[in-house]
Amino acid sequence: MDIALKYKIISEIINSNDERVLNAVKTLLNIEDESDFWDELNTEDQAAIDEGLEQLDKGQYISRDSVREEIKNRFNF
């Protein structure tokens, strides 16, 4: 099989949204699902992330520009 055909196959896989096709390719290539990083976090980290997401949902956050301005003023940048 020539390299151009391999690249075409790769391109088709990348551009595909068909779960059936992608799962078939995954099975053919013996690719196992990677573990979710969430499962590797300890409970304290998971709780901290959940808390942060809840704060974002409630609008309790500081904008990037506000943080930059505070740093600029605090450290005379």
Q: Residue 20: which pLDDT band, with cuts at 50, 70 and 90? A: very high
Q: Are residues 25 and 50 in the same domain?
A: no
Q: Are residues 45 and 27 in the same domain?
A: no
Structural domain of residue 11, as residue ranges? 1-33
In eight-state DSSP terms, residue 7 is H
Mean pLDDT value across residues 22-42: 89
CA 74/CA 66 separation, integer angstroms: 12
Query: Structural domain tally of the chain?
Result: 2
Is pLDDT above 80 for 34?
Answer: no
Q: What is the pLDDT of residue 76?
A: 87
CA 7/CA 13 separation, integer angstroms: 10
Q: Are residues 23 and 42 in the same domain?
A: no
Q: What is the pTM of this model?
A: 0.45
Q: Are residues 44 and 61 in the same domain?
A: yes
Q: Residue 29: which pLDDT band, with cuts at 50, 70 and 90? A: very high
Cβ-based neighbour number of residue 26 at 10 Å:
14
Comparing C-alpha atoms, which of 21, 49, 27 is closest to residue 36?
49
